[in-house]
Chains A and B, each alone.
Chain A
Amino acid sequence: MRRIRIERAPAPLGLRLAIPLLAVGVTFALTAVLIVLAGARPLEGYYYFLIAPLASRVSALEVLVKSTPLLLTGAAVTVAFAAGYWNIGAEGQLYAGAIAGAWLGVVLHDWPPALAIPMMLLGGFAAGVLWALPPALLKVKLAVDEVVTTLLLNSVVLFLVSFLLNGPWRDPISGWPQSPEISSSAAFPKLIPRSRLHLGFLVAVVVIGVLWYAMSRTGVGLKLRATGLGFRASRFIGVDVNKTLLGAALVSGGIAGLAGVGEVAGIHFHLIDALSPGYGYTGIIAATLGGLNALGVGLAAVFIGLIETGSQNVSRALGVPAYLGDVVQATLLLVTLAAFILQNYRIRFSSDRSRDNPSSGELVEGEIP
């Protein structure tokens, strides 16, 4: 007689690598229902969604444009989450960076680009750090839960933006609620002519690269991941948990700030209140989908960029509302979360004799006739 049982043990490596692909497949099967409801054929829908954006050079570059802020917010969320610091505030930190960028972009009008642009990046990073600082300090000094504080500051920064755009920064010429245009010397140069792909993409790729190296190859990264696995155990092996948490929270905020600078200096050239359609939250999707591994997060961010571009495509070609893209992203997140549970379990087929092995905590047992 053969027995089948499910144990709590790491799943085989092959399955663990296949989980994201499995999640993508399940997501598309589920969201196909919405495409049908919208009166289109799912396969045709997914052609416009996933293949068509890559078919032309212009739209393929647009995928990279869309993924630029997501690479950065994804990296930001990864740094924090990996350390066990639940920074939900990347959206607010992004806007803090954008405010700094919009201000510096005007103030630095007589600086040469070679100095103004590094200054923009530095300023955006610093603003993100600053916006991440209060929740981080409250966390390490007073043990105040960071989820609620970072979340609330997302709303506060939007009021700050609204105040600036309706008050002191209102465009004096047009009267629109947007900040004055930043000077050309502070604007990010285009990486490829006749496209919107700008320096911010290069910055994002470098950040992902540095993050991958730091997390997997340095002592700092090791301490970070140890902290994320458990505060008490990390203290036991001599990691300064508070210092690690504070560092992770602030670096996370800074990276999210870079995303804000990129959108101001590379895309809009103004601060506007609709600068981000929720890139900070989408960064959480990218980080989760990428399994908090820098390279995985990079892939996930580009994939989400593809979904964002593709949803515009589906809307134009088939009249399916572009919000389909938002639903697909969120479904992907939920399905991935559920699928990751699979990686902690292993299905084992065994003969009667090996049952006596006491080492594994068996959960479910059944017989195969």
Chain B
Amino acid sequence: MEAFVVSLFAATFRVASPLLLGTLGELFAERAGILNLGIEGTMFFGAFVGFAVGSASGSLWLGVLAAVISGVLSGFLMGLLAVTLGVNQHVSGLGITLFLTGLSLFSYRLIFGEPKVPPSIQPFGQFSPFEGVPILGQLTEQYVLTYIAFALVPIVWWIMRRTAYGLQLRAVGENPEAVDAAGVSVAGMRYSALMFGGGLMGAAGAFLSLAQLGSFTYGIIAGRGWVCIALIIFAHWKPIRVLWGALLFGGVFALQLRLQTTGAQLPYETFLALPYLVTILALALAGRAAAAPASLLKPYRRE
């Protein structure tokens, strides 16, 4: 029983890592007033670029860097549509997801062909600073990227709450007119939020291809981007709450994987669907309007 619980918690941290990275990325965008539905595609593209560069160069970290850059570029593309052109954010975000998904699959096929066994690389290893200590050693046996993901939570909180940049970012999402009147570029803030957030989404994808799997597959993201969209509402757009949400969702996923192998009575799909249903329920109870940035979804035009 103890071994089961310890391995469940260790797995929870692992599963929560890409969710954390993706949701913190989306947090930047939404706090600045842009709903970035390109997240699913940006993560997919990041997973692909990370794997392609990682396997071509032989350096996993170069792969991560490339994935982050690919995410920054995806964020820039979203900015072009949603900020500069002021296009509907739902449709442009979905369009970016479709575009990046198609582009990744096309490029993957072009580079790697159609091998029977998908190509793979030696992924990141896990390590623990408490090697040999019972329980604690097993719990902290994680990827470096997991440590980075969790360290980003207080960092993002600090940026949002304690820096001038964070204040301006939140103000852009609440009242862009005021920010504009104060002489800060609304478009510039929104671009920076989208590109910074996109970088985190790219890293989330690279976590899956370079740490968790060591390969790139068609179903590598499998709706995790949409989970991040749900998580952010669940977390009321607050970084610390994102942490709890990601751990909760990660825990349910990890539990589900274990129940699948033990042959439990309930079908495992019930557990997979649970986070989605809980989010919808949370939305119904809280109502989205309560906590969402006031100017979310509204393009800014100086009148």
Contacts and interface: CB of A to CB of B under 8 A. Distances in A.
A333 B106 contact: no
A176 interface: no
Contacts of B35: 147
B226 A145 contact: no
Given A149-B280, A156-B273, A329-B98, A144 B287 contact: yes
Given A144-B283, A162-B269, A334 B99 contact: yes
B119 interface: no
B90 A86 contact: yes
Interface residues of B, number: 42
A325 B273 CA distance: 31
Contacts of B270: 159, 163
Contacts of B230: 148, 152
A285 B99 CA distance: 11
Contact of A326 (B85, B91, B98, B283): B98
B96 interface: yes
Interface string B258-302: 000000000101101100110110011001110010000000000
B103 interface: yes
A51 interface: no
Interface string A272-314: 0000001001001100100000000000000000000000000
B280 A337 contact: no
B276 A156 contact: yes
A327 B91 CA distance: 16
Nearest to B271: A159
A334 B78 CA distance: 10
Given A149-B280, A152-B276, A323-B109, A288 B269 contact: no
A144 B290 CA distance: 10
A167 B268 CA distance: 11
Contact of B106 (A34, A142, A166, A284): A34
B137 interface: no
B102 interface: yes
B85 to A, nearest CB: 5
B94 A338 contact: no
Contact of B280 (A37, A152, A334): A152
Nearest to B272: A159
B91 A323 contact: no
A153 interface: yes
Contacts of A34: 106
Contact of B110 (A37, A151, A278): A37
Contacts of A330: 95-96, 98-99, 101-103
A68 interface: no
Contact of A155 (B87, B94, B276): B276
Most buried by A among B37, B94, B223, B230: B94
A331 B96 CA distance: 9
Contacts of A334: 81, 92, 95-96, 99
A333 B85 contact: no
Interface in A158-176: 159-160, 162-163, 166-167
A327 B102 contact: yes
B99 A327 contact: yes
A334 B99 CA distance: 8
A88 interface: yes
| Interface hub of B90, B94, B95, B287 (most chain A Cβ within 10 A) | B95
A172 to B, nearest CB: 18
B220 to A, nearest CB: 15
A341 interface: yes
A143 B85 CA distance: 28
B288 A145 contact: yes
B179 interface: no
Given A337-B81, A338-B81, A326 B86 contact: no
A143 B287 contact: yes
Contacts of A163: 267, 269-270
B163 interface: no
Contact of A153 (B90, B233, B272, B276): B276
Contacts of A167: 267
Contacts of A144: 283-284, 287-288
A138 B103 CA distance: 35
B284 A138 contact: yes
B135 interface: no
Nearest to A155: B223
Contacts of A166: 267, 269
A230 interface: no
B121 interface: no
Contact of B269 (A37, A160, A341): A160
A278 B218 CA distance: 14
A341 B82 CA distance: 11
A142 B290 CA distance: 11
Nearest to B98: A330
Nearest to B233: A148
Interface in A253-286: 278, 281, 284-285
Contacts of B126: none
Interface in A40-69: none
A321 interface: yes
B106 A159 contact: no
Contacts of A284: 91, 94
Name the 8 nearest CB pairs between A and B, nearest first.
A326-B102, A330-B99, A321-B109, A330-B98, A323-B106, A327-B102, A159-B269, A163-B269
Interface of B: 35, 37, 81, 85-88, 90-92, 94-96, 98-99, 101-103, 105-106, 109-110, 223, 226, 229-230, 233, 267, 269-270, 272-273, 276-277, 279-280, 283-284, 287-289, 292
Given A152-B230, A323-B106, A337-B85, 13 more contacts: A38-B110, A148-B229, A151-B229, A153-B276, A154-B226, A159-B273, A321-B105, A327-B103, A329-B98, A330-B98, A333-B91, A337-B81, A338-B85
Interface of A: 34, 37-38, 86, 88, 134, 138, 142-145, 147-149, 151-156, 159-160, 162-163, 166-167, 278, 281, 284-285, 288, 321, 323-327, 329-331, 333-334, 337-338, 340-341
